[in-house]
Structure 1
Amino acid sequence: MRTGTRAWRSGVLAEENFPLTELHRYREQDDVIVWVDLCAPGPDEVRLVAHELRLDAHAVEDALAAGERPKFDRYPSHLFLNTYAVRVDASTGELTSHEISAFIAGRTLVTVRPDDGFDMDAVTRRWDGRMLAAHGVGHLVHGLVDEVADGYLAAAQVLDDASEDLEDMLFDERTPEQAVHRRSFELRKSLVLLRRRVVPMRDALSALMRPEVGLVTDGLVASYRDVHDHVLRVTEWADSLRDLITSVLDTNLTIQSNQMNLVMKKLTGWAAVIAVPTLVTGFFGQNVPFPGNGEDWGFAVDLALLLISMTILFVLFRRRGWL
């Protein structure tokens, strides 16, 4: 378990890494903004923070449970936001997500994470500056959701690049079909998971930005709208990439069908080339007398008919593209 704490006074960092037992002292000061980060917390830490902020038991349960959907809920004493940070492995196309829960109670922000897979240091770097003093805890929440939204954009870009590589694999004769199929399903799985994380986040941000919530001040409206636009863009991006992957799979099936037709056409052409000589040899091989039977010139005529018929059929089928 790793706990991080910070306190800002008038927008300036006043204290850092203070114990949770002193949380109430900073919360009593009107000009202080407090942030508490609980990474894989124990029951004692959760109980202490929940008691201090009067957190709803259902919200605490959602923060500690794994697999909760992204959402935004309002409670009498606090606000609750649940979201996911995502990252895509460029080599495998696999998408991994890390759950983040946030409690907003007055001038206090509490983040809860089951592990340290999300880079919280990147969020803290966004919090420095004058906007913290002017907009309070709303600025802290914006830094968190903005970092998450940027992760969505980065993941979508990686999947977009992987989709372009998949198109190149599709028309590369050296690439086995099994590799194309496997890569297609890996990317499609990642896109489905990305959309599952992004779409509810779009609705959560819309609810969080409502004026009656009181979190987003007038000076932060443009910043939150920018984050919301990024989430909308990723949603549309994921949909278009999913359609693209489906199109690649359909194209691959069409290519296989065309190749099968080409093979069948060639086999049919060669069967016709072989069938006519078989007819000639069968005629001359019958056990009844015929002109030239047992004569040298009869064998010559037989051989000539074989060669001429095969040549004519080969040239004809070749010109039509059957061979």
Structure 2
Amino acid sequence: MSDRQGSGSADGTHVPRSRVWVGDRVVAEDVAGPETADLLHHEADACAWAVVDPSDHERIGGVIDKFGLDEWVRRDLLGHDHHPEPDRLAALGPERAAGRPQVKYEEFGDVRLVITAATELPEQPRGRDALDVRRVAMVITPRLLLVVAGPEDADELGRHLVAAQSRLGPGGTERAAQAVLHGLSSGYFTVVQAIEDAGDELADALFDLQPLSREEKGTAFRLRRTVTELRRVTVPMREVVEGLGQSSAEEPGSISRSWNLLIEHQTSVSAAADDLRDSLGALFDTSLAFDDSRMNEVMKKLTGWAAIVAVPTLVSGFAGMNVPFWGNGHATGFYVYLAIMAVACVSLYVVFKRLEWI
């Protein structure tokens, strides 16, 4: 992507990748990093945001160098795919070394670093990954918001920033950061809603008082795994938003209220994810209860028929002993024992049928 190139959405609408503004006036769009710095230098009241690809090392490095951030910040911004040496990965810990975005928030003076993630349900699950989780990083300074996101999320985040332009004037980069976080949080809600809809379909299947099929159990397991992966983002993200809100406590009242709304929004997402985990667990438990009930019914039928079959086996075994007794070797004895077996089997059948064992 060229520094001067924005992007186009699916409907052909131009989506800028950077913007410089003063109050309600947009000064420039899709400008290169050095030009952005020049505009901020010449316009004392100007602010800017930029959405850059993780591969844009020059622009990211320029921001890091300008604000005196360390190498670890560079690594967080670029993601671990850019430094896969085993010894360095070992120092990052197993979760970060595995490539999962580590959601976190740090402050370096008046510069704030946010590492979070965008989430999306894939149309077709790939391997063990039930949820697409993509790194999104932000560097928030008093006059510049730098968002590092891959091409899958850059356009969507750009649209959120453009849509929030009317609120950016009085709020500056604080409002811009809120717009990005609101867009990410909306993505979490979209995932939650999709999981809820899928869970409702599984619940409807249980209303027939039948356990889930093998395919439905596989779907329920994938949904539960998806919720687990979603919670790895939403739970720490709530703490990140709270940290941002606390760091902005001295900002104008409207900005503080916006952070509080974002905290409430993120708390709702986390609570919804927890509720989904519980409801999917209840689906599993209910299905297992139906499985147990059906197994009990099968065992009762097998027990009833085994008892019925045991009667002729018992009578014929008794009559077949090599001991002289009444009816032995005569047709009369055969018919008598045959009648005994028939009466006993029919009686047991009637009793078990009334008890609903067969």
Normalised to the residue count of structure 2, the TM-score between the two structures is 0.81
Q: Report the Cα offset of residue 62 of structure 1.
A: 1.3
**1: CA distance, partners of 2:327 / 2:66:** 114
Equivalent position of 1:201 in the other structure: 237
Q: Report the Cα offset of residue 199 of structure 1.
A: 1.1
C-alpha contact 1:2 1:38 (8 A) present in aligned 2: no
**2: CA distance, partners of 1:149 / 1:71:** 15
User: Which has the larger displacement, 28-37 or 289-298?
Assistant: 289-298
C-alpha contact 2:61 2:74 (8 A) present in aligned 1: no
Q: Report the Cα offset of residue 213 of structure 1.
A: 6.1
Determine whether 1:13 maps to 2:26: yes
The equivalent position to 1:23 in structure 2, one of 36, 60, 63, is 36
Q: Which residues in structure 2 correspond to 1:168-247 (within 5 Å)?
A: 168-170=204-206, 177-210=213-246, 214=250, 216-247=251-282
Q: Report the Cα offset of residue 171 of structure 1.
A: 5.9
Distance 1:106 1:57, change over 3 A: farther
Residue type of the alignment partner of 1:150: S
The equivalent position to 1:128 in structure 2, one of 165, 177, 180, is 165
SS in structure 1 of the partner of residue 217 of structure 2:
helix
Determine whether 1:291 maps to 2:326: yes
User: Which has the larger displacement, 37-46 or 19-28?
Assistant: 37-46
SS in structure 2 of the partner of residue 210 of structure 1:
helix
Determine whether 1:154 maps to 2:181: no
User: Which has the larger displacement, 224-233 or 282-291?
Assistant: 282-291
SS in structure 2 of the partner of residue 99 of structure 1:
strand
The gaps in structure 1 that reach 5 residues or longer are none
Distance 1:2 1:82, change over 3 A: farther
Q: Report the Cα offset of residue 175 of structure 1.
A: 7.7
C-alpha contact 1:8 1:15 (8 A) present in aligned 2: yes
The gaps in structure 2 that reach 5 residues or longer are 4-16, 81-99
The equivalent position to 2:287 in structure 1, one of 227, 252, 260, is 252
C-alpha contact 1:26 1:34 (8 A) present in aligned 2: no
User: Which has the larger displacement, 87-96 or 299-308?
Assistant: 87-96
Q: Which residues in structure 2 correspond to 1:88-99 (within 5 Å)?
A: 88-89=121-122, 94-99=130-135
Equivalent position of 1:309 in the other structure: 344
Distance 1:283 1:77, change over 3 A: closer
- 1:93-136 Cα offsets, whole Å, 9 max, x none, are 9321221111112211111124434522331332222x222222
Equivalent position of 2:103 in the other structure: 70
**2: CA distance, partners of 1:314 / 1:78:** 82
C-alpha contact 1:107 1:136 (8 A) present in aligned 2: yes
Q: Which residues in structure 2 correspond to 1:42-53 (within 5 Å)?
A: 42-53=56-67
User: Which has the larger displacement, 25-34 or 114-123?
Assistant: 114-123
Determine whether 1:58 maps to 2:72: yes
Equivalent position of 2:173 in the other structure: 137
Normalised to the residue count of structure 1, the TM-score between the two structures is 0.89
Distance 1:252 1:234, change over 3 A: same
Paired-residue identity, % = 29
- 1:121-174 Cα offsets, whole Å, 9 max, x none, are 331332222x22222221111111111111111111111112222223456688
Determine whether 1:38 maps to 2:52: yes
User: Which has the larger displacement, 112-121 or 275-284?
Assistant: 112-121
